[in-house]
């Protein structure tokens, strides 16, 4: 699954800032958003009180995180109203067919030591949630602008994207695997995912977190 995101190869240093374009997300809007410590510059989502899903390339052949912050909005700072939970990671599983190559199933799950009380995100049960033309939302702490400039460091941002058809994905992206990938992009080029957003959820946003449905995660992009 892919949005306009990071490549399958994590750079040696991942810049921690915010998602390109988009807006600062409201506090407590995404209680299922997960941040890793130590951070590889990736995000994840809580799909069960003790299970986090993310991109395999974030940790393939690299160190695994010791713990996670669930529902956190602002990194490295205490902000009034920013409610989140920290949990220890006790196990992690990278998809057995992922070998770091384009087209591999870029997915991993992590088991938490104790259940979180934060609200997990629902996973899509139908392809209709990700059909072409559907508006979806990506979120993360990637760069603020293409040149890396950022005035409001570390705040979670979200931006809207549009699901593309499999044909559009193949024609525009080239290295695209329809059997396991989807793609979404902002045709107005105002929003994109980038470093710091890999593994983060792509959701069909509802009226609130309880109504959100995760249709994919950020894996790679142009």
Q: How confident is the model at residue 190 (pLDDT cuts 50, 70, 90)?
A: low
When pLDDT is averaged across residues 205-212 and rounded to a whole number, the result is 96
The answer as to whether 113 is a domain residue is: yes
**Residues 209, 74: Cα–Cα separation, whole Å:** 18
pLDDT at 36 over 70: yes
The answer as to whether 14 is a domain residue is: no
pTM: 0.81
The answer as to whether 13 is a domain residue is: no
When pLDDT is averaged across residues 38-43 and rounded to a whole number, the result is 74
The answer as to whether 2 is a domain residue is: no
**Percent of the chain beyond pLDDT 90?**
35
Per-residue model confidence (pLDDT) at position 204: 94
Per-residue model confidence (pLDDT) at position 19: 56
Per-residue model confidence (pLDDT) at position 65: 87
69-73, 89-93, 122-126, 162-166: least confident range: 162-166
30-34, 175-179, 189-193: least confident range: 189-193
39-43, 131-135, 168-172, 188-192: least confident range: 188-192
The answer as to whether 82 is a domain residue is: yes
Give the domain extent around 180.
23-217
110-124, 137-151, 169-183, 198-212: least confident range: 137-151
**Residues 41, 74: Cα–Cα separation, whole Å:** 14
Give the number of domains in the chain. Answer: 1
The answer as to whether 202 is a domain residue is: yes
**CATH number of the domain within which 209 lies:** 2.40.10.120
The answer as to whether 7 is a domain residue is: no
The answer as to whether 1 is a domain residue is: no
Q: How confident is the model at residue 15 (pLDDT cuts 50, 70, 90)?
A: very low
Any idea which residue has 């997300």 for tokens?
A: 25
DSSP string, 31-74: TTEEEEES--SBEEEEEETTEEEE-GGGTTTSPPPSEEEES--B
How far apart are the two ends of the chain, measured CA to CA in Å? 14
**Residues 48, 160: Cα–Cα separation, whole Å:** 25
């Amino acid at each position: 699954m892919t949005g306009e995101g990071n490549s399958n190869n994590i750079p040696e240093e991942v810049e921690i800032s915010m998602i390109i374009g988009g807006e600062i997300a409201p506090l407590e809007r995404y209680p299922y958003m997960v941040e890793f410590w130590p951070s590889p510059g990736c995000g994840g989502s809580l799909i069960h009180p003790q299970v986090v899903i993310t991109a395999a390339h974030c940790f393939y052949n690299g160190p695994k995180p010791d713990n996670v912050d669930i529902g956190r909005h602002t990194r490295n700072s205490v902000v009034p109203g920013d409610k989140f939970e920290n949990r220890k990671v006790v196990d992690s599983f990278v998809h057995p067919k992922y070998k770091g190559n384009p087209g591999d199933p870029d997915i991993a799950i992590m088991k938490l030591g104790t259940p979180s009380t934060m609200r997990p995100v629902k996973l899509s049960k139908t392809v209709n949630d990700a059909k072409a033309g559907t508006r979806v939302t990506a979120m993360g702490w990637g760069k603020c602008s293409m040149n890396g400039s950022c005035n409001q460091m570390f705040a979670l941002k979200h931006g809207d994207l549009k699901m593309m058809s499999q044909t559009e994905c193949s024609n525009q992206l080239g290295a695209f695997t329809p059997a396991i990938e989807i793609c979404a992009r902002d045709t107005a080029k105002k929003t994109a995912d980038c470093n710091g957003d890999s593994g983060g959820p792509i959701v069909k946003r509802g009226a609130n977190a309880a109504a959100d449905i995760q249709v994919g995660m950020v894996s790679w992009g142009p």
